Amino acid sequence: MSELNAQLSFLEEKFDFYLDELINLSKIPSVSAPDFPPEKVEESAEYVAKLMKECGLENVEILRIPDCHPYVYADWIRNPNAPTVLLYAHHDVQPPLREEIWKTKPFEPTVIDGRLYGRGTADDKAGILIHISSVAAYLKTIGELPVNVKVIIEGEEEIGSTHLAEFLDIYAEKLKSDVIVLTDLANFDTGIPSLTTSLRGLGVIELELSVLESPLHSGLWSGPIPDVNMAMSKVIAELTDSEGRINIPEIYEMIKPTPSELLKDFDKLPLNEEIFKKQSRMVEGTGFIGGKGKHLLEKLWRMPSLVVSAVVSGGKKISGNVIMDSCWAKIGIRTVPNMDTGKTLELLKKKIESSIPWGVKAEFRVANGGNPWVTEIDHKAFELAKNALSKGYDKEAVFIGCGASIPFVKPFSDAFGKVPALLVGVEDPYTNAHSENESLDLIDFKKSIRSQIYLFDELKKLND
């Protein structure tokens, strides 16, 4: 039996053990958002540190900076001639949202029809266990890894990595590596291993409109007084045109045309409108937006999008015949390569200000979640990673884009001299990350661990 067969056999024997550890970790409600108990994020960090120690990693420590949820660090550095690989994941999770919609309780992970349901099971505690179990597959069998490894598990990714710049100022040298592996992305579909080569950026504007100090009886006061919800509706309606394109021409002036070779690659991927509607669970009869003649994947990965993720004024169960005093909305904009998120937010805020009717009072909170990121795939690391994924899944890996944002990627890659960042993961179109009924495909979970066992073996060739 070769050494690598020993690692793969270890996975077969211990997979249920690491699945149980994923379940244990996912029971901890480590929601990093405000108004959720920060001690649960601390508890999650402590559990991750325990897993790191048990798998054989060394120098395990919880890294802290003021007013920031904890990071967890560990390493295994033995060979000065081998490349050093930084493994990234995050242990914080999204809020559960509407618990009555979940098939199971969000923090009681449950297996149903081959999927593990629970908040954080896929995003991104599965990523942590991929790192832990693949490292253990080497250290618990042959006692060494073919590469040097550093592991960093973040505690505030789901709130935009707001302290990332400060964290890098302190710890960049400690984390410096030759290649980064981020296990927080998705496959194109179940069973199709994927390497992500572009991410959209994210900016958010919270807008609150006010007309009254408190709600008033609509029969006694409506007519002269503006309806604040109508005002918000007018503002939102002005943000897009009849095709759903963002109604700010200056934004599109920043965008470079999608390369024709990339569009040809999009056509090779197994996706059409019918599949897309099934994956996204669009309501029957709903059409597409974003402009005619654009490929679905171009709209997802290479074009900006605008989403109003919440509008709050009164409540469905407590609404009365009143003129509401205020209305709040959260408006997010996704930016693409060549766009500057800060400038884009300025343009969006200016558009909103010009659309506010009747002198209604407006208050803004603007949050820049980071610029878009794109990488070339000519570095040797991408070929090695594609080989590893193809072996682990027994299916040829594909290069894809992603419409989401990961603030960690570009700053860390830049801090280490623009080293290659390999973005992989175990989510799929049915995962429902950030929504109710988040779930993880268990077959792909095992295949992703297999892939990372192969990846360590492949990445030892970086210095050849």
- The predicted-structure confidence for 273-304, as pLDDT tens digits, reads as follows 999 999 888 999 999 998 877 889 999 999 99
pLDDT > 50? residue 1: no
> How many residues can be counted in the chain?
464
What is the model's pLDDT at position 317? 66
Cα(441)–Cα(113) distance, rounded to whole angstroms?
9
Phi, psi of 410 (to 5 degrees): -65, -45
Task: Report which of 160, 173, 166 is spatially closest to residue 65, judged by C-alpha positions.
Answer: 166
Tokens representing residue 362 in the block:
């407006």
The pLDDT > 90 percentage for the chain reads 83
pLDDT > 50? residue 142: yes
Domain architecture of the chain: domains with CATH? 3-199+372-463 (3.40.630.10), 201-255+304-368 (3.30.70.360)
For residue 333, the Cα-to-chain-centroid distance in whole angstroms is: 15
Q: How far apart are the first and last CA of the chain?
A: 25
- The predicted-structure confidence for 9-42, as pLDDT tens digits, reads as follows 999 999 999 999 999 999 999 999 999 999 999 9
pTM for the whole thing? 0.86
Structural element, H or E, at residue 275: helix 273-280
- The predicted-structure confidence for 324-353, as pLDDT tens digits, reads as follows 999 999 999 999 989 999 999 999 999 999
